[in-house]
Structure 1
C-alpha cells in the first residue's frame, strides 16, 4: 500500500530517528514484559494454585503466592523510573507529620506519629520494596528454586513440569525487564545526541527529556503513538496546555528551532520544514488560542519574565509573515512594546509590572515613576524577589529584543492590510523611524561626524531601515500616506544621504538607504527639492561606477535605482550623464566587460539614449561609445544563438576578418571548437576573462566547457533581451543608412539576415524568455529591411523562420497581455504584441521579394 503523503518529511529529523525509535523499542520490550506477566499470572492461578494447591509444599506455595502478588501489583505496566520519582516526596510527607507532632505537644498528634512509625516499619517499607523490586526478587526466587529443584512432587502427576514452566517464565520475564532497565540508562545519551544535533541549550534539553518520557509512556499503550510526533508537534501541544510551565517549556523548544533556522548557513531545508510545520500548527484552526497567547507574552505587562518574552519574540518573528493584524485586535500594541527604552525594560520584570498595575490601577504610572526614582538613587525595590542581572547582560538582551521587534514589524509590513493597521497605530511610525532620525551611527562631535561601530546599535538601525523599506513599498493610499509621512522627516532623509556618502557605513545599510530614497523620489505625492534628487542620482552613479569601493550587491541595487529614475524624465537622464566626466566610459566598460551588470547597464543606457537629447559633447561621446559597443554586443548575441547548434559553420563567416576581442580566426577551425573550449590544431585558443563570463558554457576554473544549467541559461536569455533591446534603440535613435555597414558586419556567404535567422530559430520555443528575445529581434529585422536590400534566398529563409515562430508563439504571446510589467506599463515603450511585429517584418520581406521578382534581370 502506498504511504500517505505528509506536510513535511520528518523521517530524518533527529528526534524522530532516535527518540521515537527508541521509545518504540522500549514499548515493545514493555509489551513483552506484559505478555510474559500475563502468562505467569495465568499459570500460577489457573494451573498451579487452581489444580495443584493441595499438593504444593510450603516453599513453592509461598514462592507462587509472592510471584502472583508481584504480577497483580502491575509493576510491569509502568516504567521503574516513573515509580521512583515521587517516593522521596512521600517520605517528606511522613517527615512533615512527625515534625508537626513534635512542634504541637497534643496527645492526638503524638499517637498519630507512633502509628506512622509502626506502619512505616511493618507495612509501607516492605510494600515499597515489593512494588519497585518485585520482578528482581521474582528472578532471584526462580533461580533459587530451579537450582535447588526440591519440589517434593513425587506421586503427583505433572507438578514438577508445571513448576519448571512457571519458574522459567518468571525468570524470562525478569530477564526482559532487566534488559529494558539497562536500556533505560541510554535516555541521557539520546537526549544529548538530539540536543547536539539541534544545538539546543541546557534549558531546552529538559524539554527533550520530557518528550522522550512522553513517547515512552505513549508507546506502552499504543505502538502507533509515535506516528506524526516530533519536537514541533510536542512543543505546540505544550503551548496549548493550560499549565504555564508547559507553555514555557514548549515555547523554549520552538525558540531554539527559530534560532537555528535564522543562524543556519547551509541550505537549511530541515529548518525550513521545522518552520513550515510550526506555522501550520500555530496558525491552524485546531489551536486558536496559541497565537493570541504568544502576542500577549510580548507585552511589557504580562505574567512571564524577560527570558520568556524574548523566546516569544523570536517565535513570533519566525511566523510573522502569516499574521494578519486585523484578526488580532490589540496585537500590534503588544508587538510595538518590544521597541521601548532600556529604562522601562530593566527596572521591572513583566510580571512585576503586571502586579504593580493590578495593585495600583489608576496610579500605576506614578508608582512606576517612583520605582524609577528609587532605582536611580540605588534604593532596594520591594517588588524585586531576586537579584537582577548585570546591566551589561540586560543591555544585550534588550538590544536583542528590540531587534526582534523590528524583524516582526518588517515581516508584518509585507502585507498591505498590516501596513494599514500599523499606520493607524498611534506613535508606532515615529518609534520605527526614531533610530534613523537620531542617526545613531553618525553623532556630531565638535561639528564633525564620528562613526560609531557598535554592533548593538547597528542591529537596531538596520532593523529600523528594514521596516522602512517595507513601508515605503506599500501600495495604494496607505503606501502614499506612509511615504509622505516618512519623507516629511527631514532629519531622516539627511541620515539616509549621510549613509550613502559615508565610507565606513556597512554595505547593508547603503543598500537599504538606496531602496528607501528611490521609492520616496518615485512617489508622485512627494516633490523633493531639485538638489536633493540630483544629490541622490550622483551618489547612485558614484556607487555603481565606483569600481571595487562597494560590494557587487550594492552596485546592482544602485544600478536598479538609477534605472527606475532614468526611465522617468529627461532631467534625470541629464543628471546621470553629467554626474562626472567618466560616466559614459564607465557604463561602456560595465556593458562589455562586467557580466553581472550587463543587463541592468544595457537597460540604463537604453533609457538614456531615449531621453538624453542635448546636442553637446556628452551626446557625441555617447554616440561614439554606442557605435563601438553595438557590433560587439551583437556578435556576443550571435555566439549565444549558435552555441548549441549542430551545424558546423566556419568562424570566418560569423566573425569579422580582424581579431575579435581576443579570438583569433586563424587559430580556430569552427564554432564548435570554441564552445567546447578545446585547442585548435595549430595553436592554443585564447579567450579573455570577460568573454568567458559572458559565455556560461565555460568554466573559469579550467577553461573546459560545461553544460549550462537551466537557471544560468535563463539568466543569459534575460541578458540577451536587454542587449538586443539596446541595439534596436541605438540603431533607431542614432544610426542611419550610413552607419548600417559598420553595425552589420559580415560577408555575402553569411549575411546579416542569416544571423538574425539564427536568433529566431534559437528562440522558436513556446517559452516566455524566447518570446521576449523574439520581440527585439523582429524590431532589428524591421530596421534592417528599411536600410538594405538582400537576396531572395536569404530573405525566404528568414521569412520561413518568422512564420514558424508566429505559429508557435501565438497563444503565449496573447497571454502576455495579463503581465502588468509589460512594456505598455511605461510611457516610453508602448506595448506591441509579437504578432504585430512579425506581420510588419513579414510585409517588408514580402515587398522586397516582390521587387526582386519584378526586377529587369529576372525577366
Structure 2
C-alpha cells in the first residue's frame, strides 16, 4: 500500500495488491475491530492468569544446606554441652574439692586443658561471626577478592575473613578458576563503579582500616591461618592429654590409702573422659564439615542446582551461614524454616547495598529459572513490602546500584506478567512514576547496540539507558494487558509522551535488517504498548486514542516506519495496527488518510493483512478517504484481490465501503465494481463465516450499480439464477436465528441484499414468499440485538452505529413482500 502526491499536491492512498502464486492458500484472519471481543478474550493469545500444568513436588536444593546446618548444630551443641559439663566438673569438683590433694601433673594437665578448651570455645564463638562477615560485602568478596591482592587497608579484613572461614578456604581455588572465566562479564556488569563513588556516612565492614598500614595485610593473613589452626590443635591437644591420663592412670600419690583416693581418681577419670568426648565430638564436626564442603562440594552443588552462577557462591555461603547461625543461636530446628527466596526477600529489604545486591541476584535467578519461577513469583506477589521495595529500586540512578536496579526491573517485568501481581504493582503509590523513570530519553537515538557494546566498559551511560528503556517498556506492555492499568498509564504525567518518543527509528536502522539493535527492540516494544493502549475499550480507550493521536510525533514516527521499514515487517505490522485503532475516531481517520503512505512488499503476508484492514477502516465512513482511494484507480486490482485467499476479506470490505460512502459523484468510478459479481455470488453460495458475511455485504451495495437488465445478464453469464441466491439468503437467516459474535452483520447484510433483489425484479418477491422469507424476517424482529447495530467495535463496546437500524430493514423487506404480492409479477 503506497501513497503518492498527485499533480495538484494532494496526497492519496495507493493500494498495491500483486497476485499470489498460490491462490488456494487459506489464511485465517485474526479478530479485528470489525468484530466484537468478549471480556474473556485475550489480547496476545495468552493470558496473564494462565495456569501452569501441575508439576510434581521437587525438594528445593537449599534444603540440603539447612539439613547440613542442622546436623552441624547438633554436633556443635553436643560438644558445647559436654565441654560446659567438663568445665563445671573441673572447677567445682576437682579444682574446688581436690585442688590441694591433686598431683602436680594432674593440676597442670587440668589447667592446660581448661585453658586450651576455653580458648577454643572463645574462638569458636566468634568464628561464625567472621564467617557471616565474609559474605556481607558481595561487591568485594564476590568480585574484587578474586582479583589480585591490592596493598590497601581494605584487603586486610577480606584476608582475615578468608583465613577464618573453612568454607571460604575450601572453595577459594575453585572460585578463582570460575572467576577467571567470568571476569570480563563481571566487569561489564559492575563497570568501573569505584571511579565515581559518592561520599558515605558510615563504614562498611570491607572498608574498615583495622591496621594503619597496608603492609600488614600478608601478616594478618598468616595470623588468621594460625588462629584457625590453633582451634584444631587445641582439640587435638585435648585428645592427646586426656588419652595420656586415661591410658596410664597416672593420677599421683596424694592421699594414698586414704578414704578420698577412690573419689579423686574417679573424679579425674570423669573429667578426662568429658574432655576427650568434647574434643572428639568437635573433631567429628570438623571432619564432617570438611567432608561435605571440601570433598563432596555441597555448596557448589547447591549453587549449581539453584542456577545462581559463579557469583552466586557468595550468596549460597551467606544463606548457609545464616541458617547455621539460627540453629546455633536458637533451636536447632530454626534453620529448617529458611528457604532461598524468603532469605533473598529479607536481604533486598535491608539497608545494606551489598545485602540488597545478594537478594536481587537470587530473586532474579529464581524468577527466570523455569523450575522455581512460579513459586518465586507467587511468594513475591503475596509479600507487599517486597513489591514496594522492588518498585522503589526502579527509581535508583546511582551507577553503583545499577545491577540492583537492573535485577529489580527484570523481576518486576516478570511479576507484571501475572494479572493479580500486575494489579498489586500498579496499586502501589508512585509505581507508575517509578516505571516511568526507566524511560530515560537523554541519549542519542542513533546509537546502535554494536556501538554501545564497544563503549559500555568505558561509558556507563551508553549501556544502561537503552537496557532500562527496553525493560521499562516491557513492564508497561505486561501491565497494559489490564484495562485499568491502561488508564493509569495514560494518566501518569509525561509517560505517554515518553512511550511515543521511543517509536522513532532512524532510516539507516530500518533499512538494515542484518543488525539487531537494542533500539529496534525498544521501538518494537513501544509500538506494542501504544497498540495495546489504542485498542483499549470503553471511555478509557476513547480518551487514550485521543491522547495518542493528539501527539504530533505519533503519526510521523509510524509514517517513517512504514516508509523505510520494508525489512522490518514486525514494526510495520504494529504501526499499521496502531493507525487502524486510532482511525476509530473521525478526526484521526481523515488525518491519517491524508498524510500516511507506504508500500507493502509481496512476501509480507501478515503486513498485507493488517494493511488491508487499515484501508478498510480508513475508508469506512470517510468520504474524503474514499475519494483518495478512487483517484488511484484501484477498483480493478481490488476486484482481482477478491480471488486471493489472503486478501479477499479485506478487499471486499474496502469495496463495500467505497460503494457505501463515496457519494453519488463517484458513480462512474465505481461502475466497474459490477465485474466482481460472479466472484461475489460464488463466495456467497459456497463460502461461510467471515468471507460469506463480507461478500453478502458487498453484493448488497455493489449490485445497486446495475440495472435490472444488467443484473439478469450478469446472473446468466455467471450461471446463477435469482432463485438460488434467494435460497442462500433465506438459509442464512434460518441458520443465524440469533446474532453471532463472529459475524455480527450477517443477518443485516442478507436482508439488505434481499431488499435489493425484491426492488430489482417483482418476481423475486414471489420467490422469497415461497421460501418463507416473511416468517424468517419476523423471527429476526424477535431476536434483534444491539450487537447488530454497530459496524466497528472496541472490545465488547460498539463505536460506529449503523444509520439504519435492523428493525427498519426488516420492516422495509416485509413491506415489499406485502405491497408487491398482489401486483402482476414481471419477468
Calculate the TM-score normalised by the size of structure 2: 0.56
Aligned partner of 2:437 in structure 1 is 335
**Residues 83 and 132, structure 1, Cα contact 8 Å, conserved in 2:** no
Is this contact kept in 2: 1:471–1:479, CA < 8 A? yes
Pick closer, same or farther for the CA change 1:603–1:529 going to 2, 3 Å: closer
Residue 628 of structure 1 corresponds to 682
In structure 2, what is the Cα distance between the partners aligned to 1:585 and 1:500? Answer: 24
Secondary structure of the structure 1 residue equivalent to 2:801: coil
Aligned positions of 1:36-115 closer than 5 A: 37-39=80-82, 41-42=84-85, 45=88, 50=93, 62=109, 66=113, 70=117, 74=121, 82=129
> Do residues 558 (structure 1) and 558 (structure 2) align?
no
Matched, 1:440 2:506: yes
Distance 1:18 1:723, change over 3 A: same
Q: 2:573 aligns with which of 497, 511, 514?
A: 511
2:409, 2:472 within 8 Å by CA — same for their partners in 1?
yes
Deviation at 1:335, TM superposition (A): 0.7
For the 8 Å contact 1:191–1:208, the answer to whether it is kept is yes
Superposed, which structure 2 residues align to 1:372-771 within 5 Å? 390-391=457-458, 395-407=462-474, 415-422=485-492, 424-425=493-494, 433-434=500-501, 439-442=505-508, 453=515, 455-462=517-524, 464-466=526-528, 468-469=530-531, 472=534, 475=540, 478-479=543-544, 482-486=547-551, 488-489=552-553, 493-502=555-564, 504-526=566-588, 528=590, 532=594, 536=597, 539=598, 543=600, 547=602, 549-550=603-604, 552=606, 554-562=607-615, 564-569=617-622, 579=634, 581-590=636-645, 616=670, 618-634=672-688, 720=689, 722-723=690-691, 725-726=693-694, 729=697, 739=721, 742=724
The yes-or-no answer on 1:827 pairing with 2:804 is no
Equivalent-residue separation in structure 2 for 1:584 and 1:270 (angstroms): 56
Give the superposition deviation at 1:627: 1.4
- Mapped to 2, the partners of 1:521 and 1:813 lie a distance apart of 21
SS, match of residue 322 in structure 2:
helix
Residues 824 and 242 from structure 1, CA distance in 2 versus in 1: closer, same or farther, beyond 3 angstroms?
closer
User: In 2 relative to 1, CA 510–231 (structure 1 residues): closer, same or farther, beyond 3 Å?
Assistant: farther
| Alignment CA distance shift 1:525-1:589 (3 Å) | closer
Unaligned runs of 5+ in 2: 1-50, 135-156, 165-204, 216-221, 253-259, 417-421, 448-454, 704-710, 755-763, 819-827
Alignment partners' CA distance in 2, 1:38 and 1:824: 79
Cα distance, 1:327 vs. partner? Answer: 2.5
1:248–1:33 CA distance, 2 compared to 1 (3 A): closer
Match of residue 21 from structure 1: 64
Whether 2:247 is the aligned partner of 1:247: answer no
Distance 2:513 2:787 in 1: 54
> Closer, same or farther in 2 for the Cα pair 1:742/1:194, shift >3 Å?
farther
Distance 1:431 1:30, change over 3 A: closer
Structure 1 position 177, deviation (Å): 0.7
Q: Is the 8 A contact 2:349 2:356 kept in 1?
A: yes
- Report which stretch shifted further, 184-193 or 778-787: 778-787
Cα separation, partners in 2 of 1:235 and 1:564, compared to 1, 3 Å: farther
Residue 296 of structure 1 and its aligned partner are, at CA, apart by 3.6
Of 372, 377, 396 in structure 2, the residue corresponding to residue 297 of structure 1 is 396
Say whether residues 1:35 and 2:78 are aligned partners.
yes
3-state SS of 1:18 partner: coil
Distance change >3 Å, CA 227–CA 600, structure 1 → 2: farther
Offset at residue 337 of structure 1 (A):
7.0
Q: CA deviation at 1:501?
A: 3.4
Cα RMSD between the aligned structures?
A: 6.4
Q: State which of 373, 382, 392 in structure 2 corresponds to 1:271.
A: 373
User: Quick one: distance in 2 between partners of 1:317 and 1:65?
Assistant: 62
Does the C-alpha gap of structure 1 residues 560 and 33 become closer, same or farther in structure 2, counting only changes over 3 Å? farther
- Higher relative contact order by CA 8 Å / sep ≥ 6: 1 or 2? 2
Q: Give the structure 2 partner of residue 113 of structure 1.
A: none
- In structure 2, the CA distance between the partners of 1:151 and 1:744, relative to structure 1 (3 Å rule), is farther
TM-score (norm 1): 0.54
Q: Deviations over 1:298-320 (max 9, x none)?
A: 3xxx5845555555554565567
CA contact (8 A) 1:317 1:408 kept: yes
Task: State the 1:151 CA deviation.
Answer: 8.1
Deviations 1:240-272 (A, max 9, x none): 2222332343344445567x48xxxxxx57435
The 8 Å contact of residues 310 and 401 in structure 1, kept in 2 or not, is answered as: yes
Aligned residue pairs, count: 621
SS, match of residue 589 in structure 1: coil
Q: SS at 1:237's partner residue?
A: helix
State how far apart, in whole Å, the 1-side matches of 2:53 and 2:120 are.
Answer: 42
Return closer, same or farther for 1:392/1:296 CA change in 2, 3 Å cut-off.
closer
Instruction: Give the match for residue 108 of structure 1.
Output: none
Q: 1:226 to 1:828 in 2, by over 3 A?
A: farther
